[in-house]
Amino acid sequence: MEKSKFIKAYMNAKPLPLDNIVAARKMENSRSSKSAKVPFPGNIDNITAHTPPGTTKVRIYTPPGNAPFPAILYMHGGGFSLGSPETSDNLCRTISKTANAVLISIDYALAPEYKFPYALEECYRVALWVMENDVALNVRADQLSIIGDSAGGNLAAGVCLLATLRKDFTPIYQVLICPLLDLQTEHDLKIKELQDNLFTKESHQTFSNYYLQDPAEVSNPLVSPLLADSLSGLPPTTIITAERDPLAAEAISYGKRLHDAGITVIHRHYDGQVHDFVLFVKSLDEAKEAAESIGYDLTKIVAG
């Protein structure tokens, strides 16, 4: 699909009925399940990870070839309230194939049924589960990368921040795709002249209300990673931003703060593109390029 046609279709997409989260999820899941699939040469398995105090469904992408492979932990987007591994399926296929790595996509618990910090802690527990089950998963425990898009980018950043604090494991890389990193800043200050029906003031507030137990939590660095006092000790990072994404400014600021903290940062900015365009790897050349670049970045990190 031509870029101009994609942008037009994106902007004209029917908004999800966020005031009815059950209906919104059904509509989002229907859209995702109908998407044509990118071919994947390896195995894709849906299993259950047992992570006390409960279980978490995960989708595992294992490329062909000789194990052990590098490991990738992936968190999908959806405002903490929508989506599933199906939402980012084509993107995960592409990253796993290009990086020649086992990718574990987390079907984390959604808000408002499960509020902060439940999903973040769940994703952290899955990271520990990967470390503990490295042989069964055919992965290298010392080669774990953390990736997420949109709200999943928020969770990915949060998992890496927690890892620096708790020191249970050390990610070698993080990738933040159109990430939500600042819930404190008023929505109207983010959008400026942008027109995006995914990010109306109402939808922004709805997602925040669903996710947070207390509005004051917006200032918690694990909710708004951009507000963290220190970013030292975080892994090398790739950040993907899009010109027409209201979240681009906070992601760019996060990248600058990482750089100032001595962290290696690769920032890829896509002119004219919209939020989470990278998910559309099957139909959009620029999305395929961005997804493959993530995989290539990771192979370089692994190679040292």
Q: Which residues are catalytic?
A: 150, 245, 275
The set of residues, in sequence order, having a beta carbon less than 8 Å from that of 200 and lying 6+ positions away, is: 15, 187
The two beta strands, 102-107 and 139-149, are unpaired
Tokens 């595992």 found at: 60
Cα(205)–Cα(212) distance, integer angstroms: 10
Cα(241)–Cα(45) distance, integer angstroms: 30
For the record, the structure tokens of 168 come out as 């249970």
The two beta strands, 69-75 and 139-149, are parallel
Q: Are 199 and 242 in contact (CB under 8 A)?
A: no
15 closest CA partner among 197, 207, 157: 197
The two beta strands, 265-270 and 102-107, are unpaired
Q: Are 151 and 79 in contact (CB under 8 A)?
A: yes
The set of residues, in sequence order, having a beta carbon less than 8 Å from that of 240 and lying 6+ positions away, is: 175, 176, 177, 178, 251, 268, 270, 278, 290, 294
Degrees to nearest 5, angle at CA 54 with 169 and 181: 55
The set of residues, in sequence order, having a beta carbon less than 8 Å from that of 299 and lying 6+ positions away, is: 98, 99, 100
Q: What is the DSSP string of 47-66?
A: EEEEETTEEEEEEEEE-SSS
Cα(207)–Cα(221) distance, integer angstroms: 17
